[in-house]
Structure 1
Amino acid sequence: MSTETSPTNAAESSRWRRKAILAASAAVAMVALVGCKADVISYDLPAESARYTFQTETDGVTTAWEYTSDRPTEPGTPTSQPCIADVVLKETGPCRPEPLIFLRYDLGLGLDNTAEADRFHPITVTGYYQDRLGTPPAVTELRAEASFDGGKVWRPVSTEAAGKNTFTARIKHPKRDQASGGVALRITATDRAGNTVEQTIPQAYRLR
């Protein structure tokens, strides 16, 4: 399921409208996690700069983006990687991907996809963009929260920068019987342009 909303002023009629293309944001973001196949989503946006929200849910993993988008003045994709609008919809004119932040995880798990209980456990989260976005802004902030009771209570997790667009979070695991349903994660990232993403994984891993 996916929804895309725009602010009121962006919904007014415009003399020039543009076609926005998203390669199924949730599917692209979570393909490594759940093996989804990406679909092509197309919708019209006004030419004026406006703030948008795009939300998806894939196998219980929810992702919500807030981003600013406006009419491109020049192509934002290399000739070796044509815009999906040109290939699929035969659109003409400048084209570029939307500035959505995607998240890549290194959870540091064992071969059985579990982590040790009753101790601090580091995970690494990296923000990235579609390759065809020419000069993406830097991811400047990442907040992490963990839940051990199925999302009823969320606990803040300390994070620190660990390289370009990369952050390390140290999660204090409870004893195994205090997290029988596993560990849920909620990650929020913000880039220099003010674009954000919030992703919630109901069961990222279990404890041993």
Structure 2
Amino acid sequence: MVLVSAVMLALAGCNGGDLIAYDLPAKSARYTFEAKTNDVKTVWEYTSAEATKGDAPKVSPCMGDVTGSNKAACRPEPLIFLRYDFDLALDNTVKAGENHDITVVGYYQPRLTALPKVTSLKAETTFDGGSTWHPATTRATGKNTFTTTIKNPRRNQAPKGIGLRISATDSQGNTVRQTMPTAYTLR
């Protein structure tokens, strides 16, 4: 996990466990936050500053509030998270040689104030493990919801499956880029 900014950060760990809190400077700055889980790499870029007022609902509190170590105002950062409906068969595959629609929904951690809106989403596919990326047609289909159409090749052209890279931007200029080396395989 990596958090980068043009300004200095103070990193404070909570007592016990691996809960981590980031004390942000009062001045607004642009941050990059990277995480990799099970070969899925996610990079967020967002603007944030020190919280001056709490903005976390009681049903989804900040971790410092839960552990009792929080002394300052707290709020979720404006990170865009992505949820996918791959519409896979029961064997977790998709038919080769045909177009296939994937639904992608952008969402945020709950806040008390209004959330940004995901305004654009771009999808790319790879059939060779990430050496070459191909743009995929994407269209908005609802609030923070997009459908991307993947033109699946023949199975022998993507023997290890289809990789997917999604880039999304919201109304506040925050972005996310998520790369899945293998999103699904072909049958």
- TM-score normalised to structure 1 length: 0.82
The corresponding residue for 1:11 is 8
Cα 1:172/1:84, change in 2 over 3 Å: same
Distance 1:133 1:143 in 2: 29
For 1:165-180, list aligned pairs within 5 A: 165-180=144-159
Aligned length: 184
Which residues of structure 1 form unaligned runs of 5+?
A: 22-38
1:115-165 deviations in Å (ceiling 9; x for gaps): 011111100000001123632100000000000011110000010001000
Identity %: 54
* 1:91 to partner: Cα distance: 1.6
Letter in 2 for 1:6: S
> Is the 1:187–1:198 contact (alpha carbons within 8 Å) kept by the matching residues of 2?
yes
1:140-194 deviations in Å (ceiling 9; x for gaps): 0000000001111000001000100000000001111101010000000100000
1:161 equivalent to 2:140? Answer yes
Distance 1:18 1:60 in 2: 26
Cα 1:20/1:98, change in 2 over 3 Å: farther
For 1:1-208, list aligned pairs within 5 A: 2-7=1-6, 10-11=7-8, 40-88=19-67, 90-132=69-111, 134-208=113-187
Distance 1:44 1:163 in 2: 35
> Is the 1:49–1:68 contact (alpha carbons within 8 Å) kept by the matching residues of 2?
yes
- TM-score normalised to structure 2 length: 0.91
Which residues of structure 2 form unaligned runs of 5+?
A: none
